[in-house]
Structure 1
Amino acid sequence: MPTNKLGIIAGGGALPGRLVRACRESGRPFFVLAIEGHADAADIGADSPQAWIRMGEAGSGIRALHEAGCRDLVMAGPVRRPTLADLRPDWRTARFFARLGLRALGDDGLLKALIAELEGEGFRVVGVDSILTDLSPDLGPLGRHVPDEQARADIARAVAVCRTLGALDVGQAVVVQQGIVLGVEAVEGTDALLARCRDLERSGPGGVLVKLCKPQQETRVDLPTVGPRTVENAVAAGLRGIALHAGRSILVDREATLGRADALGLFVVGVSGDEEPA
């Protein structure tokens, strides 16, 4: 395990807490820079070295990371993209967006520019999966249940749509039932996508959720992620299964996620991202 002090830039979900626990177990020094309105204080822990900033305070955040002595940085957990009115940028953030220009319109361009900005400050940005090495799913069935012929056809259809959307830097997830695209992910995120699809379920075999890494994606940040809540929401939406990008996505709380999927009759599979519709 590297001994460089790890700065954890914490968004929502369980990943920041998982990283904190991994650092404690390995003895690696760490510091949490938590994003207000997104990070979970209870999961991070009151005794963790930490600072809290709002989204528009890049200058304060970078200064806190330097003062804490961080060398490596990892960005973990979803962050809802703010409007400019919500952002209220400090001088450093305003300068960053002015320099970014049209690249700020897409998530991929924004994240790549953010990584370049942090590395320009002397930090080394690493991926979550380089620290939590058990998170990336393998190819094939991951739980007890497996997709049937219809589900495999729906997965292939969703993969084709995901690849097109991803190339346009739109989203990472698609829901397909019986060959019909029920919904695609944009800025709202996967949970909201699944909630929308509840009212669109058709009679007959349930659909599938497919989450793929974008073709041009910077894989150190924003990998497609599935956890226990995704499983619950997929079942509530009437789906039969979830397909994840093998080797290029994150399966949070693997045992709990797959255990819940097994109990609810939902399949979870790793796919290559190259599946072709029949």
Structure 2
Amino acid sequence: MENQPLGIVMGKGDLPSLLIDFCKKNKRPYLLFPIKYQVDVSFIRKHPHVWVSFGQIKKNLDLLRKYNIKELVFVGTVQRPRLLSLNLDWMGWKWLVTIGWKAFGDDGLLSGIIGLFEKEGFKIVGAHQLIRDLLMPQGKLGKIDPTGEDKKNIALGFEAAKELGRQDRGQGVIVENGFILARETMEGTDWMLKETAPLLSKTGSAILVKVSKPQQEKRVDLPTIGPETIENLARYGYKGIALEAENGFLLHPEKVIKLADQKGIFVYGVTEKKV
């Protein structure tokens, strides 16, 4: 489908711009489908786009077909709306009844959305299937190694984050000195880092651990880190971050490594079998 326009359904963050760069480099046409109230309008104005709304399923499908979109990628951070604010059309209500209780969990909701679009004939791809080297590699990045004690904490955080994911509640935890200090909620990672900062000890050993959910729909919503993550870790006094290797996005890796080395923060790719 390289000559077909790529439909980019998007929220906030750096991934949409990376996909646009990919399309331009490969001379592939693209069309942004920004979700209303979820994106930077000044960024959107620079690119071909058509606005879409959460609850208007039939209208959204008609727009995709109107612009001959056959392949879609879902990227960016989206603040989960309240059910009553969705303004669902008849197709939206039918879809919601079909997925039932799964709509109350992030992964269940996203899997339901993917299933709906696939049933309607669209091909859904993950950003990592288009952009090479987007997935987190295994092991340390940069100059700073986690200590043996850090790795014990990472292993503890990995299991806690996986359990959180099984409950479809979040993808990350904060661990320090053998204790889980915080678990990610719908407010997201940055909010968790800020709110947990007053609880950190003076040892400066707190670590952010982010993993994919065991039942994760890997084409959407993989855990993601980038330069802003490192800035926030440094701002609030964290020692490092561990991201699940091959199941998480590392954005702007050269910037991340340079910034982490400058700030004295380790960046570590971890798997379930090897910490």
Instruction: Provide the rounded CA distance (Å) in 1 between the counterparts of 2:140 and 2:45.
Output: 35
Q: Deviations over 1:150-190 (max 9, x none)?
A: 21111111011012111121211010011111110021111
User: Residue 28 in 1 paired to residue 34 in 2?
Assistant: no
Question: Equivalent residue of 1:50, what SS?
Answer: coil
Alignment correspondent of 1:167: 166
Separation of aligned partners in 1, 2:184 and 2:67: 37
1:155 aligned residue = 154
Letter in 1 for 2:227: P
Query: What is the match of residue 77 of structure 2?
Result: 78
Give 1:232-247 correspondences, 5 Å limit. 232-247=231-246
Matched with 2:136 is 137
Residues in 1 aligned to 2:186 and 2:268: alpha-carbon distance in whole angstroms: 25
Identity %: 37
Question: What amino acid maps onto 1:99 in structure 2?
Answer: T
Aligned-residue Cα RMSD (Å) equals: 1.6
Matched residue, 1:121? 120
The superposition leaves residues 46-68 of structure 1 with CA deviations (integer Å, 9 ceiling, x where unpaired) of 2x221112322222222111111
Helix, strand or coil at the partner of 1:22? helix
Task: Tell me, in whole angstroms, the C-alpha distance in 2 between the residues paired with 1:137 and 1:24.
Answer: 24
- What is the DSSP-based 3-state SS (H/G/I as helix, E as strand, rest coil) of the residue aligned with 2:201? coil
Q: Which residue pairs with 2:272 in the alignment?
A: 273
The CA deviation at 1:88 is 1.8
Alpha-carbon displacement from aligned partner over 1:50-103 (angstroms, at most 9, x marks no partner)? 111232222222211111111110000011110023222223222221222111
* Structure 2 equivalent of residue 67 of structure 1: 66
The corresponding residue for 1:255 is: 254
Note the C-alpha offset of 1:36. 1.5
- Structure-2 separation of matches of 1:177 and 1:267: 15
Q: Which moved more, 1:130-139 or 1:218-227?
A: 130-139
* 1:159–1:274 contact (8 Å) kept in structure 2: no
Q: Helix, strand or coil: the match of 1:192?
A: helix
- Paired residue secondary structure (1:98): helix
**Unaligned segments of structure 2, at least 5 residues:** none
1:79-98 to 2 correspondences below 5 Å = 79-98=78-97
Partners of 2:117 and 2:49 lie apart in 1 by: 18
- 8 Å CA contact retained: 2:204, 2:237: no
Q: Which amino acid in the other structure matches residue 118 of structure 2?
A: E
Q: Partners in 2 of 1:272 and 1:251 — Cα distance? A: 15
Is 1:230 the counterpart of 2:226? The answer is no
Q: Matched residues in 1 for 2:71 and 2:190: separation?
A: 30
Give the whole-Å Cα distance in 2 for the aligned partners of 1:44 and 1:171.
28
Q: Distance in 1 between matches of 2:239 and 2:45?
A: 36
SS at match of 2:180: strand
Give the partner amino acid of 1:238: G
Q: Structure 1 stretches (4+) deviating beyond 4 angstroms?
A: none
- Match of residue 197 from structure 1: 196
Q: Is the 8 A contact 2:173 2:209 kept in 1?
A: yes
The residue identity in structure 2 corresponding to 1:20 is I
Shift in Å at residue 15 of structure 1?
Answer: 0.7
Aligned to 2:56: 57
Unmatched tracts of structure 1, length 5 or more: none
Distance 1:40 1:247 in 2: 29
